[in-house]
Chains A and B, each alone.
Chain A
Amino acid sequence: MTAVMDAPATTDEIMTVVAARELNNGVVCFVGIGKPSTAANLARRTHAPDIVLIYESGAIGAKPTKPPLSIGDGELAATADVVVSVPEIFTYWLQAGRVDVGFLGAAQVDRFGNINTTVVGDYDSPTTRLPGAGGAPEISTSAGEVFIMLNHSRRAFVETLDFVTSVGFATGGNSRERLGLPGGGPSVIITDIGVLRPDPVTKEFTLTALHPGRTVEEAKAATCWDLKVAETVSKTAPPSSEELRHLRALVAGEVS
Chain B
Amino acid sequence: MKIIIVGAGEVGYNIASRLASENKRVVVIDKDIDAIQRLSENLDVQVIMASGSSPKVLIDAGINETDILLAVTDSDETNLVTCLMANMISPTTKKLARIRNQDFDSYYDRFKKENPHIDTIINPEIEVVNTIRKLMVVPGAVDVGDFADGQVKYIGLRIDRHSPMAGMKLIDFSSKFGEDRPLIAAIIRNNEVIVPRGSNKIEPGDLIYFVSETEKLEKMLMLFGKKIIPIQRALIIGGGRIGERLANLLEADSIKTKIIEADIARCHYLSEKMEKTIILHGDGSDQKLFLEENVGQSDVVVCVTNVDETNILVSLLAKNLGIENTITRISKSNYFPLLATIGIEKVVSPRLSAVSSILKEVRKGKVLSDISILGERGEFIEAIALETSDITDRPLRKISFPKGAILVCILRDGHIMIPAGNSVVKPNDRIIMFAVKHAVKKLEKLLTVKLDFF
B is bound to A: no
Interface of A toward B, CB cutoff 8 Å: none
